[in-house]
């Protein structure tokens, strides 16, 4: 199937995983074809210009404010939690019933809050400014994040996992895989990349989440995707950035 014939078109910045990666993981696990439009050459209708055209609101569907953007026929969706929830409902990656779907969205929105706070560790003042222009503010914000906010979020998700009687320690909700599990895996990987010392300190308290991450990483479709050239590694232009000065201090610096 040609890229332009795929049932889903995803628009996100072509050089970083970012919030687009949460959507990609759902699409990959669902095993459906999608066109990662901005990663196509500009000569083939891709690149950043294709993404910016979506943000200007051309074509059918509600105009989005920011990527990721998913287009399916005349439907155009933005906001990572909204896209993941919609795709999860279409492809069996959401709990059954209205209550279960609402709980999944609640957890996904909490994950989005964590992602936002992780991003703000390196951009606490100006989203459009360089990290180098706000280093002092970033160090202050990140100090509070790794000491207080990161433990609070991960302990919360660990408690959710442990109280799920049907998840066999591998799912946050219900007895089977959901889009929330996929997103939790991506968050854990991103946090470990950006804050390896702070993350390692919390590992003994979140053994359930670590088991969940290992289970997701071993899923055949996820493992195949992550081993492919289509999966970009974390880098210092994305949400999760490794700046050692923003992590917990080393023993030598205490």
Dihedral, CA of residue 73, residue 116, residue 194 and residue 189, to nearest 10: -50
Are 191 and 213 in contact, with CB atoms under 8 Å apart?
no
- Cβ neighbours, 10 Å, residue 70: 28
* pLDDT, tens only, 100-123: 999 999 999 999 999 999 999 999
Give the pair of three-digit tokens for residue 189. Answer: 């990987």
Residues 244 and 144 in one domain: yes
Residues 74 and 107 in one domain: no
In 3D, which of 41, 45, 37, 39 has the Cα closest to residue 16? 39
Domain count for the chain, please give it. Answer: 2
- Of the residues 58, 90, 122, which one is the last residue of a structural domain? 90
Rounded to whole angstroms, the Cα distance separating 85 from 94 reads 7
- Of the residues 90, 117, 150, which one is the last residue of a structural domain? 90
Rounded to whole angstroms, the Cα distance separating 192 from 213 reads 12
Crossing angle of helices 150-163/207-218, nearest 10°? 80
Residues 102 and 16 in one domain: no
Q: How far is CA 55 from CA 18, 19, 99, in A?
A: 17, 16, 33
Residues 180 and 221 in one domain: yes
Residues 122 and 205 in one domain: yes
Residues 32 and 132 in one domain: no
Residues 76 and 181 in one domain: no
Residues 131 and 153 in one domain: yes
Angle formed at CA 231 by CA 9 and CA 168, multiple of 5 degrees? 95
- Say what the pTM is: 0.95
Residues 188 and 226 in one domain: yes
Tell me, what CATH number does 79's domain have?
3.40.30.10
Rounded to whole angstroms, the Cα distance separating 86 from 159 reads 26
* pLDDT, tens only, 175-230: 999 999 999 999 999 999 999 999 999 999 999 999 999 999 999 999 999 999 99
Residues 84 and 210 in one domain: no
**What is the domain extent for residue 11?**
3-90
* pLDDT, tens only, 141-170: 999 999 999 999 999 999 999 999 987 889
Residues 109 and 213 in one domain: yes
Rounded to whole angstroms, the Cα distance separating 175 from 167 reads 4
Residues 165 and 208 in one domain: yes
- Of the residues 90, 108, 141, which one is the last residue of a structural domain? 90
* pLDDT, tens only, 46-94: 999 999 999 998 778 899 999 999 999 999 999 999 999 999 999 999 9
Tell me, what CATH number does 132's domain have?
1.20.1050.10
């Amino acid at each position: 199937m040609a890229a332009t014939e795929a049932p889903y078109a995803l628009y996100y910045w072509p050089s970083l995983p970012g919030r687009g990666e949460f959507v990609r993981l759902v699409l990959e696990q669902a095993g459906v074809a999608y066109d990662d439009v901005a990663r196509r050459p500009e000569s083939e209708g891709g690149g950043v210009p294709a993404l910016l055209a979506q943000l200007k609101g051309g074509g059918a569907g509600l105009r989005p404010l920011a990527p990721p953007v998913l287009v399916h026929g005349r439907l155009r969706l933005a906001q990572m939690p909204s896209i993941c929830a919609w795709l999860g409902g279409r492809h069996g990656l959401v709990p059954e019933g209205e209550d279960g779907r609402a709980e999944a969205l609640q957890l996904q929105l909490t994950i989005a809050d964590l992602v936002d706070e992780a991003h703000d560790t390196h951009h606490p003042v100006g989203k459009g400014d360089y990290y180098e222009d706000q280093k002092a503010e970033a160090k202050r914000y990140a100090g509070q994040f790794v000491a207080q906010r990161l433990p609070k979020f991960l302990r919360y998700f660990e408690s959710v996992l442990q109280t799920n009687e049907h998840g066999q320690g591998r799912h946050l909700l219900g007895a089977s895989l959901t889009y929330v599990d996929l997103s939790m895996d991506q968050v854990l990987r991103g946090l470990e990349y950006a804050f390896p010392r702070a993350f390692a300190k919390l590992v003994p308290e979140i053994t359930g989440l670590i088991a969940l991450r290992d289970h997701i990483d071993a899923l055949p479709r996820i493992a195949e995707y992550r081993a492919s050239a289509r999966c970009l590694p974390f880098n210092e232009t994305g949400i999760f950035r490794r700046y050692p000065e923003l992590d917990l201090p080393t023993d030598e610096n205490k």
